[in-house]
Amino acid sequence: MARALKVESRPGRYGSFGGQFVAPVLLPVLDRLEAGFHSAWGDPAFHAELTHLLNRFVGRPTPLFDIPAFPSRPGGARIVLKRDDLTFNGGNYANSAVGQCLLARRMGLSAVVTDTGSGQNGIATAAVAARFGMRCTIYMGARDAAAQPQAVKKMRLFGAKLEIVEDADRALSSATSAAIRHWMGHSDTDAYVAGAPIGPHPYPEMVAAFQQVIGKETRLQLVEGGVLPSAVLSAVGGGSSTVGLFSSFVSDPSIRLIAVEAAGSGESGAPNSARLSQGRRGIFHGAETLVLADAEGQILAANSIAPGLAYPGSAPQLADLVSRGRVETMTATDAEAQRAVRRLAETEGVLICLEAGHALAAAEHVARTMEPHEAVVVMTPSSGDKDIDILWQDA
């Protein structure tokens, strides 16, 4: 369990963040899930099957990758990518999709429901559900679906039922709301698969536990390479890859942990996605956390060129780690992220997603302030294939 990441005041709390702010009708469902998860997590057979699937079906471990030709100026710390873009389907979302589908099957459920913004969580869940022979319903905002037609088709090819959501922001946040409504009505057969360590307890704990594999692999790979990093950076959407990567470094105070948020266009007053650094304490999608909201408590639409970062809520763990000062925040603009992704493609032959581009842009700044013998780790949650139309506009 994500022990190192937690300073729980009571179960399901990270400091003062977390909790179970749901319709009471969901409480028994969450209680069953909590019990099911703890039982599974204590069962060596569950871990054996999980590990087998992570290796054979997800494609773990994913490599650590040097990018010596990337920096635009010589000097500074070396930048190393953790390449979860190289999982088979859906980037790092595959880690928790496999875990949650396996758990759902163990609990006797026959179907899964989830939401997706960039398409990655949906693709991962659809692929795993196909493999397990489980029915799969996926909610996606109409705006996101229009921006990611390939992802929509891919999920359908995996046999998933796609529900396109025309509500509100027509993006991830509406899709999540719709998926939770679906789940409320079908909790006897359907497991809700969370793409990120957000939502009511036990989701943050459970998703963090399934994503820990990223941090564990990274630490092991670094140790094998004789390196301990000076800083670890990750762009924060729902926070699944960030929590997963940070988990193995949080108890090591000499390592800077930097959560990179999307600054959108970067113009002051324009919508962004920086709720850890600029958000308010609030209650959203089942947990008390930091959210983008106005003075009346209305949730604001998040904005970023990277669909996976445009979410107004935060993982409660991250809200706590930021509040306690253990995790720093930085921002990167749409343009900075794009530039970083393009330069990496041109210099290294590696195409990462725009989400990771935010972290990479921030990492370049951080690396410049460091010595060449130091190293900076950048999380790459998924590949840039989904972003090609944004990255290269003149066909």
Handedness of CA 319, 193, 355, 178 (dihedral sign): negative
What's the CA gap between 49 and 261, in Å, rounded? 35
Q: What number of other Cβ atoms are within 10 A of residue 349's Cβ?
A: 8
| CA proximity to 207, closest of 329, 342, 354, 94 | 94
154 contributes a contact to its own copies by CB under 8 A:
yes
Q: What number of other Cβ atoms are within 10 A of residue 52's Cβ?
A: 11
Name residues contacting another protein, limited to 128-167 (CB under 8 A).
167
Q: Phi/psi zone of residue 283: left (φ > 0), alpha (ψ -120 to 50 degrees), beta? A: beta
- The residue from 76, 229, 282, 316 that contacts another protein (CB under 8 A) is 282
189 contributes a contact to another protein by CB under 8 A:
no
Pick the stretch among 219-227, 245-253, 270-278, 284-292 that binds another protein (CB under 8 A): 284-292
For its own copies, give the closer residue by CB, 133 or 325: 133
Pick the stretch among 174-182, 206-214, 321-329, 357-365 that binds another protein (CB under 8 A): 174-182
271 contributes a contact to another protein by CB under 8 A:
no
Place of tokens 């396996």: 102
Pick the stretch among 171-179, 242-250, 270-278, 374-382 that binds another protein (CB under 8 A): 171-179
Kindly list the distances between the CA atom of residue 316 and the CA atoms of 127, 223, 283, in Å, as whole numbers in the listed order: 28, 29, 10
- The residue from 3, 27, 39, 371 that contacts another protein (CB under 8 A) is 27
Q: Please, what is the minimum distance in Å from the beta carbon of residue 95 to its own copies?
A: 15
Amino acid at 47: H
328 contributes a contact to another protein by CB under 8 A:
no
Backbone angles phi, psi at 349, to 5 degrees: 70, 30
Amino acid at 153: K
130 contributes a contact to its own copies by CB under 8 A:
yes
Q: Three-state DSSP class for 306?
A: coil
For its own copies, give the closer residue by CB, 44 or 349: 349
For another protein, give the closer residue by CB, 142 or 370: 142
Binding residues (CB under 8 A) for another protein: these are: 19-25, 27-28, 31, 167-168, 173, 176-177, 180-181, 184-188, 280-286, 288, 291, 293, 295-300
